[in-house]
Amino acid sequence: MAMATSASPFPSLSLLSLRRSPAHAGRPLGHHHLRFRGCRAIALLSPTPPPAPERKPILGLPAVRRREASVAFAGFLLRLLGSPLPAIADDQGECALTVAPSGLAFCDRVVGTGQEATKGLLIKAHYVGKLENGKVFDSSYNRGKPLTIRIGVGEVIKGWDQGILGGDGIPPMHAGGRRTLKIPAVLGYGTRGAGCRGGSCIIPPDSTLLFEVEFVGKA
């Protein structure tokens, strides 16, 4: 069942499938260090972009460096210990979150009865991504088709791989299931953020991300 969302205010091309080219692994993301599968990632970074291609989703930037991840995770733990973890509210009411040792929090709104998500499986998933202030930064529903990914092999942020595949006390999702994920920065985009240009970022550094994920099924 599709969830109603507001139209995304961001550019027609987002960041989910961005990757570092092998020659530049470990170096900061720059104008010439990003590529899509099979094409250069220039639409967000070039001052004279070509006509906007089909909108891409925003989950697959590389993992942050270990040192940056440690700093971000320490900050997350301090915030977590300082106040109780709130529930996430949407049109279907609140959903009590369970926090895994990694810091990833989840809540199953609908437990699926179809195929279980397993490492390397090509799946289709709908999602809505929000910042903690409720601002939607990406939605597959707005594009009219689910995201196709191979789960558990690093194609998306770690919070998605763990949140769908399971592990660390989190059960795997099954086709037909819908799950709320609250992803700390260390399992998301870390201290770098994402979609940054001209001093502003679609996803600011050290952002906790909220996702409503619907596991449609095997692709």
Active site residue 189: yes
Beta strands, E only, 1-151: 19-20, 34-36, 39-40, 88-90, 93-95, 98-99, 105-110, 122-131, 136-139, 147-150
Active site residue 211: yes
Helix ranges restricted to H, 144-214: 158-165
Active site residue 137: yes
Of 149, 130, 154, nearest in space to 204 by CA: 130
Residue 92 confidence (pLDDT): 59
Domain boundaries, the chain: 64-218
From the DSSP assignment, how many helices (H) and strands (E) are in the chain? 3, 14
Query: What residues in the chain have per-residue pLDDT under 50?
Result: 1-15, 17-49, 53, 55-56, 61-91
Residue 16 confidence (pLDDT): 52
Planar angle of CA 54, 119, 110, nearest 5 degrees? 75
Q: What is the largest CA-CA distance in the chain?
A: 48
Which of 10, 73, 106, 137 is flagged as catalytic? 137
Residue 197 confidence (pLDDT): 92
Which of 58, 88, 106, 138 is flagged as catalytic? 138
CATH 3.40.50.1010 corresponds to the domain 64-218: no
Residue 59 confidence (pLDDT): 61
- Model-wide pTM > 0.75: no
Helix ranges restricted to H, the chain: 66-82, 140-143, 158-165
- Return the structure tokens found at 61: 């930037």
Active site residue 127: yes
